[in-house]
Chain A
Amino acid sequence: MKNTKLRFGEIILSYALKIVMIIFLIISIRKLHWEWIFGCIVAIIVSFVPTILKRNYQITLPLILDILITFALILHVGGGLLGFYDIPQYDTVTHFISSFLVAFLAFVIIYILHVYWDGLIMDKYAMAFLVVITTIAMGVVWEFNEWFTDLIFKTAEQWGYEDTLKDLFIDTIAGILMAIIGVTMIKRGSFDEMTGELGKQIDKRIIKSKREEKNE
């Protein structure tokens, strides 16, 4: 009963965030901000990817992942469109949410591979360690992307030495936080519950494991 209520709340939140995104699109059209009109359209398409995956390919992403993707996009688009990036530490919060999303995705993938793939069996604490270093490494890849963009297009994506280090520090914190949450959820069995459906679908389509079930 409690789980049904929670799931219903999550669905409402997911749709509410998508409505906010549509409102942002209307605002950007009214302001004739072409850059953000394009940004909003892309963000809306991305936020509907989980729905498209479910309808067309029967792949059900965890609802929390759906919410995190939409929330990260709203923060970024809203920041640019409404000038929130001028608010002190707004950029830090946005970066943290994005890193947390990356860490969450990493944990889900590692856990599913652990359950269904013969090539990976991991202790939950080893998984947590792997999630932290994956999040940091993805942060480095993101910084490479910004660095190359600046070098090639003479933009100013990277604000300087301290800002880059701050971003990497935020990635580390987000990775550690997700690792702690993930291990707690695995211990309680709720991580298995959350990723169960997605795991089965990925196994059926990609991994195609021979075993029925693999114990932790």
Chain B
Amino acid sequence: MSKIRKICNKQCLTFTLFLRIVMIISIIIALWRRDLVWVVGTFFGLFISILPSLIKRDAKFTLPWILDFLIALVTILHVGGRLFDYYYTIENYYLVTRFFISVLVAFIGLSMIYILDEHWDGLRMDKYAMGFVTVIFTMAVGVFLEFIKYLNVTGTYYVKTNHVLMLNLSADTVAGIIIAMIGVNLIKSGKFDKITDDFGNEIDKMVIERFEKREKKN
């Protein structure tokens, strides 16, 4: 069994590495097309995708590989969409990208709730309540994304219609529900604990313990 897991982990790592190689190719294509805006965009994307590895090296962090993979995937989808105009040429491409962004947000949300539940005295939550909070957290973050789009902080062009807005919010909700269902099942089987164990312990040492000590002092 552990042999299979090792092979799987190795393949997942290879896949994440493959995603990063695709990103580097994207940068080269952007340079070749002299699309300087997207050179910066793809560099930023690559930086985000390797951020978990950078954090891991500097602060002895062990991010769950799923998180690592999702960050790389979302960045590639977004940057690739901009670079190759998939946002305009492939119908509903924006919706697919948005869905995976929301999957990432939902996974981060559920992980945070689970870690706080395990390590912080200020939160004890039933697994189904965790699922519910994951869904509403994803929906709320989706609304914040829409506020940022409206304010146009990045100066990027977005389609601003009510129909697209509602489709985006639907994608957030569906992604939140899917991750909540998968997450609750993983919690039940004890697998979610294994996924977040190292990461949770690091967060506990770096943030929660310090916070609780400060609270006790006050």
Contact = CB atoms under 8 A, between A and B. Distances in A.
Interface of A: 117, 119-123, 125-126, 130, 132-134, 136-137, 139-140, 143-144, 147, 158, 160-162, 164-165, 168-169, 172
A130 B109 CA distance: 12
A136 B124 CA distance: 23
Nearest to B125: A120
B129 interface: yes
Contact of B137 (A120, A133, A164): A133
Contacts, number: 74
A123 to B, nearest CB: 3
Contacts of B124: 119-122
A160 B116 CA distance: 39
A123 B122 contact: yes
Given A122-B124, A133-B139, A144-B169, 5 more contacts: A133-B137, A133-B140, A134-B136, A140-B139, A160-B162
A3 to B, nearest CB: 30
Interface of B is mostly: helix
A216 to B, nearest CB: 10
Interface residues of B, number: 29
Q: Which 6 A-B pairs have the closest CB atoms?
A: A119-B126, A123-B122, A137-B136, A121-B124, A133-B140, A136-B140
15 contacts: A119-B125, A122-B123, A123-B123, A126-B116, A126-B123, A136-B136, A136-B143, A137-B135, A140-B139, A140-B169, A140-B173, A160-B162, A161-B161, A164-B166, A165-B165
Interface string B105-145: 00000000000100010111110110001011101101100
A158 B162 contact: yes
A161 B160 contact: yes
A147 B125 contact: no
Contacts of B128: 119
Nearest to A168: B143
Contacts of B165: 161, 164-165
B214 to A, nearest CB: 14
A11 B170 CA distance: 42
Question: Which of B123, B128, B166 has most chain A Cβ within 10 Å?
Answer: B166
A139 B195 CA distance: 33
